[in-house]
Chains A and B, each alone.
Chain A
Amino acid sequence: MSRDTALVSADWAEKNLDAPGVVFVEVDEDTSAYDTGHIAGAIKLDWKTDLQDPVRRDFVNKEQFEALLSERGVSNDDIVVLYGGNNNWFAAYAYWYFKLYGHRDVKLLDGGRKKWELDARPLVRDAVSRPATQYVAQPQDTSIRAFRDEVVAAIGTKNLVDVRSPDEYAGRLLAPAHLPQEQAQRAGHIPTAISVPWSKAANEDGTFKSDDELRKLYAEAGLNDGKETIAYCRIGERSSHTWFVLQELLGHDNVKNYDGSWTEYGSLIGVPVVLGDEPGEA
């Protein structure tokens, strides 16, 4: 993968709003933004109610994903262009999720909703409906999804990249600073994880930095290209953003997103945790 195949600009998007076979999808946790105005023709996906199992802490299964996309009118041959708020966190998560279930052609709108709004590009309130399809998903591609046991086994051997803010990494905050901090699990980070906040990969307007800037960022942070990489954050959406950068923009082929992330790891009994700004020992 590369920038040319994985990412589209706002200009490209505006020119292709009515292009046949292109489906725009707004993805957020709080979809109220969509209802106040969305890109013309875009359907919406809710990070929680559409993509998470309502009972267990896990994704909807293959059959549920097929039913969801069939009902929303997405077909296997469509080019799916994802965008959203929060600097595309949830859109990047959905990108990774579509890849997990084997969708062939997915793209992310560079800068997401923020760049679109700051550019004063048009948003509409029209209801969008697409004819139902018969979507067929593939079994989950777990080469891009990490589970807790392989994360514990990766300590001191694989690249672990903590993409939360420096204060969350050090254990001074438990959550991003737009949320209340009261939570049950322990603070800190996984031993030997390097700290590369997701935000370092993005410009102020939400667009991604250049490939040269991104390569330099991870090289200077100590990412070893010869090793497998697991990215994590708090609930797996900011680390999807970094997974997208490493695997889809820079073309690394051995990157996994740990969607359990800190809310799982920081609640496990008996696993090692490091406090402070240094990665710590294995």
Chain B
Amino acid sequence: MTAPTAAGCAAPDQSAPLPASLDLEKETVITGVVRSTEGEAVPGAYVRLLDSTGEFTAEVVTSPAGQFRFFAAPGTWTLRALSRYGNGDTTVTAGRGITEATVTVTD
């Protein structure tokens, strides 16, 4: 795990702790887990962050524990998960700080 830098665009390790330099009074962090209908975490799922108009904003791949994380802005967002086991989505309203969400994927 290397710290994200201004030059980089690859998603940081999704299970790593939040960077110590992160100011949660300024950042809007949306984080959570992708689960199957049986409740098991789904690693390797592709999670897409869509804005309130449905436009794609970002995408990450879940960690071995099924975790994902985005740095967004306050507002309403849709989380859309794709996996080889099925797809699913959920909508969240996020403010500054940490907002948690679970996305369930189903065939």
Which A residues are closer than 8 A to B by beta carbons? Answer: 28-30, 33, 47-48, 85-87, 89-90, 114, 117-120, 165-167, 172-173, 175-184, 197, 199-200, 204-205, 234-235, 237-238, 263
Look across to chain B and name the residue whose beta carbon is closest to the beta carbon of A180.
B71
A-B CB contacts (within 8 Å), total count: 104
The answer on a CB contact under 8 Å between B7 and A117 is no
The answer on a CB contact under 8 Å between B7 and A235 is yes
Beyond A118-B83, A120-B84, A167-B51, is A178–B60 a contact (Cβ under 8 Å)?
yes
Look across to chain A and name the residue whose beta carbon is closest to the beta carbon of B14.
A178
Q: With a CB–CB cut-off of 8 A, which chain A residues contact B53? A: 166
Beyond A118-B82, A181-B27, is A28–B10 a contact (Cβ under 8 Å)?
yes
Other than the given A119-B84, A165-B51, A204-B80, 19 more pairs (CB < 8 A) read: A28-B10, A29-B9, A89-B9, A117-B44, A118-B82, A120-B84, A166-B53, A167-B57, A172-B73, A176-B58, A177-B73, A178-B49, A178-B69, A179-B4, A179-B12, A199-B56, A204-B48, A234-B9, A263-B6
Which B residues are closer than 8 A to A by beta carbons? Answer: 2, 4, 6-12, 19, 21-23, 26-27, 44, 46, 48-49, 51, 53, 55-61, 69-73, 80, 82-84
Partner of B9, one of A176, A180, A197: A176
Q: With a CB–CB cut-off of 8 A, which chain A residues contact B2? A: 30
Look across to chain B and name the residue whose beta carbon is closest to the beta carbon of A166.
B55
Look across to chain B and name the residue whose beta carbon is closest to the beta carbon of A263.
B6
Look across to chain B and name the residue whose beta carbon is closest to the beta carbon of A172.
B73
The answer on a CB contact under 8 Å between B58 and A29 is no
CA distance A124 to B79 in the complex (A): 30
28 contacts between A and B (CB under 8 A): A28-B10, A29-B9, A33-B61, A48-B8, A87-B59, A117-B44, A120-B84, A165-B51, A165-B58, A172-B73, A173-B72, A175-B71, A177-B57, A177-B58, A177-B71, A178-B58, A178-B69, A179-B11, A180-B21, A182-B22, A182-B26, A183-B6, A199-B56, A204-B80, A235-B8, A235-B9, A263-B6, A263-B7
The answer on a CB contact under 8 Å between A166 and B51 is yes
CA distance A205 to B45 in the complex (A): 12
The answer on a CB contact under 8 Å between B71 and A178 is yes
The answer on a CB contact under 8 Å between A178 and B46 is no
The answer on a CB contact under 8 Å between B10 and A85 is yes
Partner of B84, one of A28, A85, A87, A117: A117
Partner of B71, one of A120, A181, A235, A263: A181
Partner of A86, one of B10, B12, B23: B10
Q: With a CB–CB cut-off of 8 A, which chain A residues contact B73? A: 167, 172-173, 177
Most-contacted residue by chain A among B4, B49, B59 (CB, 10 A)? B59
CA distance A207 to B48 in the complex (A): 15
Partner of A165, one of B9, B23, B56: B56
Q: With a CB–CB cut-off of 8 A, which chain B residues contact A33? A: 61
Partner of A199, one of B8, B27, B55: B55
CA distance A237 to B8 in the complex (A): 10
The minimal Cβ–Cβ distance linking B94 to chain A, given in whole angstroms, is: 11
CA distance A167 to B50 in the complex (A): 11
The minimal Cβ–Cβ distance linking A133 to chain B, given in whole angstroms, is: 28
Beyond A167-B73, A197-B56, A204-B82, is A180–B10 a contact (Cβ under 8 Å)?
no
Beyond A117-B44, A118-B46, A173-B73, is A179–B56 a contact (Cβ under 8 Å)?
no
CA distance A176 to B12 in the complex (A): 12
The minimal Cβ–Cβ distance linking B101 to chain A, given in whole angstroms, is: 14
Partner of B7, one of A30, A48, A120, A166: A48
